[in-house]
Amino acid sequence: MGVGVHMESKMAKLLQCERCPVAVIRTNKRPDDALMFKEGARGCTIALLNAASKGRTVAFSDATVGCPGGKSGCGFRPFQTGFIEYFLSVGGKGPQEGEFYKESPELAKAFVEGLPSIHSEKYLVLKPFGELSEGEAFDAVVFLVNAEELSALVTLANYDQSTQDHVEIRFAAGCAQTFLYPLDNQDQQKETCTVGLTDPSARKCIEKDLLSFTIPQHRFWVMEEKAVGSFLTKETWKTLLQRK
């Protein structure tokens, strides 16, 4: 394929997704047209993921992600303990009340200290997959999906495997579920896909019927090829598509 030819996802076409699949790219170069938070602002990264799924290229950097959870979830820097374990649990430190996502500060601290550490570049760019040029590098692909699209991707992720545990759901912030864990999988050459956006705080920034499904780059290409011979071309899935 020649210069200027853009990519098309076979999975997205067979799923008939309403949202664009989003390529996740670690890079030291920010695209000129990338939408970013202003430095000092405190926005949720999931709001910009939402924008990317609607066709915008967006970017994050350590300087423009004001939320400590977002910095951790994008892989820019880990949480500093001393406050976060109280905020995630029962509160009692600082002006914000606790979120009660963990029963105790001890459990919250163990969670924070167990988060993966990944290699980061200056920017984490989210780009609609269809805007990638042929051969352009990326690290993972995120689909924002409804229940039926999620069921299809979970099934496809296990379609060509002898074991049945190739999709995981981890407790974490929405950005860590969507970016951090899948990129850790990529670094370790794993092929595990990750369901995300079960974080109640992140859900405020996304439509109520959507979850994320992130596929590491290597596994994405395999699933792309397997999709065309799978159930996605058969009658059961075609019947479900009629309900859209």
pLDDT on residue 2: 40
- Are residues 145 and 206 both part of a single domain? yes
Q: Is residue 12 part of a domain?
A: no
Which tokens sit at 67?
């939320």
- Are residues 172 and 107 both part of a single domain? no
Q: Is residue 191 part of a domain?
A: yes
pLDDT on residue 209: 96
pLDDT on residue 120: 87
- Are residues 54 and 161 both part of a single domain? yes
- Are residues 147 and 54 both part of a single domain? yes
| Contact status, residue 223 vs residue 157, Cβ threshold 8 Å | yes
- Are residues 121 and 147 both part of a single domain? yes
Domain that holds residue 135: 19-78+115-241
Which tokens sit at 179?
């970016």
Q: Is residue 205 part of a domain?
A: yes
Query: Which residues does the chain have with pLDDT short of 50?
Result: 1-4
**Last residue of one domain, picked from the residues 65, 91, 114:** 114
- Are residues 74 and 24 both part of a single domain? yes
pLDDT on residue 84: 96
Tracing tokens 């864990």 back to the chain, one arrives at 181
Beta bridge partner(s), residue 200: none
Q: Is residue 11 part of a domain?
A: no
- Are residues 234 and 156 both part of a single domain? yes
Residues in contact with 73: Cβ distance below 8 Å, sequence separation at least 6, in sequence order: 45, 172, 173, 174, 175, 176, 177, 178, 179, 180
Q: Is residue 178 part of a domain?
A: yes
Q: Is residue 221 part of a domain?
A: yes
pLDDT on residue 142: 98
- CA–CA dist 244, 115 (Å, integer): 37
- Are residues 220 and 128 both part of a single domain? yes
> Which residue type, as a one-letter code, is found at position 103?
E
The helix/strand count (H/E) of the chain reads as: 11, 7
**Last residue of one domain, picked from the residues 90, 114, 138:** 114
**Last residue of one domain, picked from the residues 114, 141, 162:** 114
- Are residues 185 and 210 both part of a single domain? yes
pLDDT on residue 119: 86
Q: Is residue 170 part of a domain?
A: yes
- 3-class SS at 29? coil
- Are residues 43 and 158 both part of a single domain? yes
| Contact status, residue 134 vs residue 5, Cβ threshold 8 Å | yes
Which tokens sit at 171?
């407790």
Please give the C-alpha separations between residue 38 and each of 60, 76, 206, in angstroms, as whole numbers: 10, 17, 21
| Contact status, residue 22 vs residue 129, Cβ threshold 8 Å | yes
- Are residues 58 and 96 both part of a single domain? no
Q: What is the tally of structural domains in the chain?
A: 2
- CA–CA dist 105, 82 (Å, integer): 10
End-to-end alpha carbon distance in the chain: 33
Q: Is residue 13 part of a domain?
A: no
- CA–CA dist 66, 170 (Å, integer): 23
Residues in contact with 236: Cβ distance below 8 Å, sequence separation at least 6, in sequence order: none
pLDDT on residue 188: 54
- Are residues 132 and 155 both part of a single domain? yes
